Each structure stands twice: as structure tokens, then as C-alpha cells.
Structure 1
Amino acid sequence: MVAGRGSVWLLVVVIVGAGCFERCGAQLPIPARTDGFVWGTSPAPAWGGAVVVEAFFDPVCPDSRDAWPPLQKAAQHYGAARVAVVVHLFPLPYHSNAFIACRSIHTVNKINASAVYPLLEKFFKYQEGYYNQPTYTKSRATVVDEITNNLVAPIIGEANLAAYKSGFNDSQSDQATRISFKYGCARGVTGTPYFFVNGMPLGDSGSPVDYNKWISTLDPLVGKM
């Protein structure tokens, strides 16, 4: 009887594994534009012309919040011509409001791309109010309204709120946020913050990297340009 149960479980594992393999082998949706938001004034990362740092952040992740200032400081030290920074949004499934936060940023990007980083930093500053516990008894609609009124409105202005609300509820912002998550998964991202330098994963990913570590990592690469 024990052997019979073992055979049944083995069959279940094989079937589930085969299903997962088939899904993993399916073509992921190809976005109309490359995922991520370039920091600074450069319209696009200078691939091949600068050291490219890619950071995967969750707007309501405390480690992402702590990781941004030292990376920003390091990027300012070198300048956009030598170090380009691209932030990818990665809504962690165990942060209840992460998808809403990321969708908000994608929506704002459609209205005013220059407002993306101010809104991301606004989320970082006030993220504790959107952790799981403080919002446990609140409905999704209530959380969305609070984010709209308390975080988004001061960034984009009252005149753009109607466009924001419309964009937040359309399929494009939903799809863009899903693609961001799938893009991170396709790159092997398992948590935030997660960093790539010139396409290679940084060993310190998963926790904030301090300024001195960034300098010691980037200096040899910038020196070879």
C-alpha cells in the first residue's frame, strides 16, 4: 500500500512538472518598449557606451528604499555619460500593495515620464503606510484612493488626476506591470533589490549595496571605457 501511494505521488509530480515545463517554454509577451525606466536626463541607456546598472525595485520594499540613495549617489558621482541606471519595477507577491504601487508608476509614466522617479521616491518615503499590516482591514479601492490622493496627486497635479484614474484602470497599465514582473522572473530575479551590472548579476543582490561598494564595483569598469 505504501508503494502504491508512492507510485501515485510520483505520477502527480511528473504530470505537474511536465505542465510547468510546457508553460516555461511558452513565449513570454514581448513589450512594445524595453522594460525599465532610465534615471537622469539620458533618453536611453548608452549600451556599449556606458556602464549600465539595472536595479529591480519593489516600491513598498524597505530594502529597495534603502538601496536607492547610495546607487543614486554613485551614479551622480560618475555622471550619465559613464554610468547609466535603469530601474525595473518588480512587485513582490508577498507585499500586498506592490502591484498597485507599480501600476501607479506605469500609469504616471504615460502621463509624464519625468514624474516616474519623484513618485517612486514618494513611495519609498511613505511606504510604511502601505505595508501589509497597516492596510490589512482596508479594501483595495480604499488603498488605491489613498495612493492617488496622498502620493500621486502631489506629483502630477490635480489637473491630471482624471487621466491618471482612467489610465490606472485600463488594460495597458495592468499589462505593463505584469510584463515588469515577468521580465524580472525571466532574468532570474527572486527578490528586491536585485542588481545587474552590464548584464551580469551582482553578488550583493537581495540587500542594499552601500556607496563605497558601488564605487569599488564601478571604478574598474569605468576606468576601462
Structure 2
Amino acid sequence: MDMTNNKSIILAISTLLCLFSPIAGQSVVPAKQDGFWYGGNTAAAEKVLIEAFFDPVCPDSRDSWPPLKKALRHYGATVTLVLHTFPLPYHDNAFATSRALHIVNTLNASATYGLLEAFFDEQEKFYGKATFNMSKAGVVNHIVEFTANEIGKSYLSAIKSGFTDTKTDHSTRVSFKYGCLRGVYGTPYFFVNGFPLPDAGSALDYKGWRKVLDSLVTKQDPLHHSL
């Protein structure tokens, strides 16, 4: 979501949420790096690293995914992506859908991005208007059933249990706090090799990704020729 005019407000909200969270008070360092690696490819010195912060119920996150996915296919092994969930506090059900992604990533990491795409494809089902008359438990059940339909009914019980496991709540909070520490204030938000791209909160099209990545890939691999 484009929050340029309200950047200071969102930064203030994010900072307060980080400061007054138990995780911040405990100064806990996560046992492993946050994020979902795309295609099983992890960071390496010879690769260009993209970090994406997405909210599963953010329309701009949804719109930014197809061109980024196309760019990843184009550059292949020379570019790697890690995705962090950043549930915006003003998006209903952002935290619960983000938590579903963390649960699935522990059950079957290869299904994580498929579930993200499913949330994007049917995002309207999880907007506040669609779930206004549901209880909190009803919303969670709605997300559990949707998730099981996407990754396999055999996972239904494990997904349901995941929503009562404090570890999945913790990991979803850690993702949000990691974004706060990096200065993320809206979604989508991208870093390339550790540096933030401009126009945070807006979808970047395929030409935009080519403009950013072509020269970086060439510097990394002089034998790579862009099409």
C-alpha cells in the first residue's frame, strides 16, 4: 500500500509496536534467519539478493508478485529471493494470514509460495468486509480450511494445531519486528543487496526489475547476457 504521505505515522506505529512487545523487551535473537527462500535458493556471495516484505492481504503486494516472479525466472540462479511477512496493522486478517504462511513453511516449505499466491488470488475473501460478521475463531477456521484446501487436506489437523502453537505466533511477530528494524513502513517493500529500493509501498513492474537487476547481474557474472 502506498503510504508516502503517512510515512512518519506508520513508522511511529511500527516503532511503538516493536518497543512494547515482549520480544523487544527480552532482546531475543531468533534461532534462525527470518524469511521464506524462493525455490530453495539461499543467499550466496555471487548472487544478487532480493528481500521482499509482503502483506498477504495487501493489494499492492499482490500486484507486485507476478512481475517479480517473472524477473526471477529470467535471471535464474544469479538472483535469489527471501520473503518476509509484514502484516500491516490497518489490514484486517493480515497477521492471521501471515501466520498461516509461517505454519505451512514448517510443514512443507515447498508449498509456502503456492499458499501466498492463493491468498493473493482470492484476497477479497479475507478483507474486513468479507469477515466482518465472523468471530476471531471463525476467521481462523476460515483461514485454516482455505489453507488445507490449497496444500492438502491431510495437513488440516496440523494447520489447526499451528494456530494454537506459540512458536508460530512468535515467528510471525519476529518477521514484523525484523521489518520494523529495517525501516519498513508499508508493503510491498524491497531491498536489493541490502539497500532499499525507492517508491516503497508501490508495485514494481517487470521493466522496473530489469532496470534494477540487469547491471547487477552483469557485474556479478560477466558471461550473463540479458535478453
TM-score relative to the length of structure 1? 0.85
In structure 2, distance between residues paired with 1:130 and 1:156: 18
SS at structure 2 position matched to 1:221: helix
SS at structure 2 position matched to 1:76: helix
Q: 1:198 aligns with which of 180, 193, 203?
A: 193
Q: Mark the runs of 5 or more structure 2 residues left unpaired by the alignment.
A: 1-15, 221-227
Cα displacement (A) at 1:156: 2.6
In structure 2, distance between residues paired with 1:161 and 1:176: 20
Q: CA RMSD in A?
A: 1.5
Q: 2:58 aligns with which of 61, 64, 77?
A: 61
In structure 1, distance between residues paired with 2:26 and 2:166: 20
Kept in 2, the 8 Å contact 1:29–1:179? The answer is: no
In structure 2, distance between residues paired with 1:209 and 1:165: 35
Q: Mark the runs of 5 or more structure 1 residues left unpaired by the alignment.
A: 1-19
In structure 2, distance between residues paired with 1:134 and 1:126: 11
Q: Which consecutive segments of 4 or more residues in structure 1 shift more than 3 A?
A: 23-28
Change (3 A) 1:166 1:205: same
Does residue 219 (structure 1) correspond to residue 214 (structure 2)? The answer is: yes
Summarize the alignment of residues 104-143 of structure 1 with structure 2, pairs less than 5 Å apart.
Answer: 104-143=100-139
Paired position in structure 1 for 2:155: 160
In structure 1, distance between residues paired with 2:115 and 2:98: 10
SS at structure 2 position matched to 1:135: coil
Does residue 93 (structure 1) correspond to residue 89 (structure 2)? The answer is: yes
Summarize the alignment of residues 138-153 of structure 1 with structure 2, pairs less than 5 Å apart.
Answer: 138-149=134-145, 151-153=146-148
Paired position in structure 1 for 2:75: 78
Cα displacement (A) at 1:78: 0.4
Matched letter for residue 206 of structure 2: Y
Cα displacement (A) at 1:61: 0.3
Residues 47-98 of structure 1: CA distance to partner in whole angstroms, max 9, x if unpaired?
Answer: x21000111000000000000000010011000x211011110010001200
TM-score relative to the length of structure 2? 0.84
In structure 2, distance between residues paired with 1:117 and 1:104: 12
Moved more, 184-193 or 33-42: 33-42
Cα displacement (A) at 1:104: 0.6
Report the structure number with the largest CA radius of gyration.
1
Equivalences, count: 200
SS at structure 1 position matched to 2:191: strand
Kept in 1, the 8 Å contact 2:72–2:79? The answer is: yes
